[in-house]
Structure 1
Amino acid sequence: MNRQSASSSRRPRKPRWLSRLPDESATARLFCFPYSGCGASMYSRWPQWIGSIEVCLVQPPARQNRIAEPHYETYGALAAALVEEMPPYLDRPFAFFGHCGGALPGVELTRQLGEAGLPLPRRVFVSSQVAPHDGPYGRFLQLDEEALTGELHKMIVSLGGVPTPELVEMSLEVLVKDVEANKRYIVPEPFRLPAGVTAIGWSEDPEIPMDLMGGWPEATDDCRYALLEGGHFEFLDAPAALLAEFEHDLRTDEAVTA
């Protein structure tokens, strides 16, 4: 009893940048970045585990439980903060996932981890996003606040919420700053990521069609493409085909034989 109490008192606190403390029993970890204008709770329909792969949700500042904190402003600054925070949880195979604007923070973080000589992801999963040197690209980047407000209504409904004026106003401020961070991520020449990339497109996605994602092989020595069924927000429901892509590229020997 005393040993248990002592063990509990030494239990690490939940990392500020993650929605929960990673589980030590995981054989691999998938770190997921939120979509522009959203927080970690956007993954509420996702399982916490994909086999023995733990789904770890990244929670950037200026939203949800971190709403009082200032926005990160640039993907470079966001990645630099995560380089300081993440190493204790990179002690086993891991990967990054993000959709649309949410894919680029994982790309930049991978680049900075490589520069720092820190553990590297086995894979970077980029969904509905062009290669960095082909951007910034996306319809949202051209919209004014009125048009972004309309998109927020659609997004909140897609997440199963009710777009009340208060929620829309709060989310709009985050969305505008997230879009601005995307605009600032200018990569004139391709850089080589020190990790493989799985570029995921969606058959009914008018925002970033698969044929616009052809630049990823210039950014990595190991690029694999996957075209999945569905529209731009299909990923929110964690479709089985998407989870299979993670298992395909991230499973460990232990996970395969379990």
Structure 2
Amino acid sequence: MWEVRVASWLTSFADVSDPACELVCFPHAGGGSSVFQTWHQHTDSLRVSAVRLPGRESRLREPAIADLGDLVDALVVGLGKVFSKPYAFYGHSMGALVAYELCRKLRALGLPLPQGLFVAGMDAPQQLDLDRAHDLPRDELVAWLIGVNGLDPEVLEYPALIDLMLPTIRADLAVVEDYHHVQQPPLPVPIHVLRGRGDVQVTVSGSSGWAALTSEGCRVTDFDGDHFFVEHNEQRIVSLIEADLVAERAER
């Protein structure tokens, strides 16, 4: 069983005295909690937190977890305090898959479920058909990452940095590429899919496929941009999430 250091798994970027909900954000493959550090600037009613995964940032010395089941089990323990109050999940790319499978694990354990699941940059899990990249030779993997905008070409000037990052990136990619969807009843959690119109890694049918995974309704909202469209639409996305969650709280 993976050893969990509970205090290390979550960081919040601003205090909110009486939040309507805590938005727990899951980063893309190779990403860290810092990609969400400015989200709190766009909301007055949400506490924005982000998952700190092993193998990056303050947890750089810890090996990244390459198995989705192990990662989800660790998150159940590491995020335990979150589940006692209203919360929601946002996940981008790999983070979307992790958040979805965490929801299913929480249901299996009889723990409180999120008030909403917001997913971006990922086809519905039952429709995933991904190229295998995590086990490519070093230079081929680097070229592939640059090709999908996962690495800035300027990083080629820093080979030592690449070699430091690659084990974590490989592990994150393995989480998704080794995934096999197991059919279960739909989640009683509303799902909102966010999609970049220019994202070649996500299809229209793959986005709409999330509807089969929820019994509480699914919406798809398109944005201008590619796989990392969130970077240029941050304020709109946070406002959209806030509106959904505040409305959900009012209905309850």
TM range (shorter): 0.7 to 0.9
Question: Which residue of 2 is the match for residue 175 of structure 1?
Answer: 169
Deviations 1:102-151 (A, max 9, x none): 21110011011111111110111110211111125368569654243135
Q: Compare 53-62 and 92-101 and name the one that shifted more.
A: 92-101
* CA displacement 1:24-47 (0-9 Å, x = unmatched): 623211111111012212334433
Structure 1, residues 76-103: CA drift from partner, whole Å, max 9, x if none? Answer: 2111111112232223321111111221
After superposition, residues 155-166 of structure 1 pair within 5 angstroms as 155-157=150-152, 164-166=158-160
1:55 maps to which of 48, 58, 65? 48
The answer to whether 1:90 aligns with 2:83 is yes
Partner residue in 2 for 1:146: 139
**How big is the shift at 1:242?**
1.3
| 1:234 aligned partner | 229
Match of 2:193 among 199, 223, 227: 199
Is there any run of 5+ residues in structure 1 with no aligned partner, and where?
1-12
Structural mapping, 1:16-35, within 5 Å: 16-20=8-12, 23=15, 25=17, 26-35=19-28
Distance 2:41 2:190 in 1: 24
The CA distance in 1 between the partners of 2:244 and 2:175, in whole Å, is 29
Q: 1:27-81: CA deviations, max 9, x gaps? A: 2111111110122123344335622101101011122211222222222211111
Q: How many residues align?
A: 243
Residues 113-122 or 223-232, more deviating:
223-232
Q: Distance in 1 between matches of 2:42 and 2:24?
A: 12
Contact 1:32/1:97 (CA < 8 Å) preserved in 2? yes
CA separation of 1:23/1:101 partners in 2, compared to 1, >3 Å: closer, same or farther? same
Contact 1:145 1:176 in 2 (8 A): no
For structure 2, which runs of at least 5 residues remain unmatched after alignment? Answer: none
Partner residue of 1:6? Answer: none
Query: Where does residue 9 of structure 1 map in the other structure?
Result: none
Moved more, 35-44 or 160-169: 160-169
> What letter matches 1:116 in structure 2?
L
RMSD over aligned Cα, in angstroms?
3.1
* Aligned AA (1:167): L
Bigger radius of gyration among the two? 1
- Worse overlay, 244-253 or 148-157: 148-157
Q: Is the 2:6–2:77 contact (alpha carbons within 8 Å) kept by the matching residues of 1? A: no
- The match for 1:247 is 242
Residue 40 in structure 1 maps to residue 33 in structure 2: yes
Quickly say closer, same or farther: Cα 1:194–1:73, change in 2 above 3 A: farther
Distance 1:68 1:57, change over 3 A: same
Which letter maps to 2:33? A
Q: Report if the CA contact (8 A) 1:202-1:230 is conserved.
A: yes
What amino acid maps onto 2:108 in structure 1? E
Say whether the 8 Å CA contact 2:135–2:170 is kept in structure 1.
no
Instruction: Report the identity percentage.
Output: 30
Separation of aligned partners in 1, 2:119 and 2:248: 24
CA gap 1:15/1:127 in 2 versus in 1, 3 angstroms: same
| Contact 1:139 1:207 (8 Å CA) reproduced | no
SS in 2 for 1:69: coil
Deviations 1:147-178 (A, max 9, x none): 431354543549x9896222221111111111
Q: Using a 3 Å threshold, how does the CA distance of structure 1 residues 109 and 171 change in structure 2: closer, same or farther?
A: same
Distance 2:220 2:53 in 1: 28
Partner of 1:106: 99
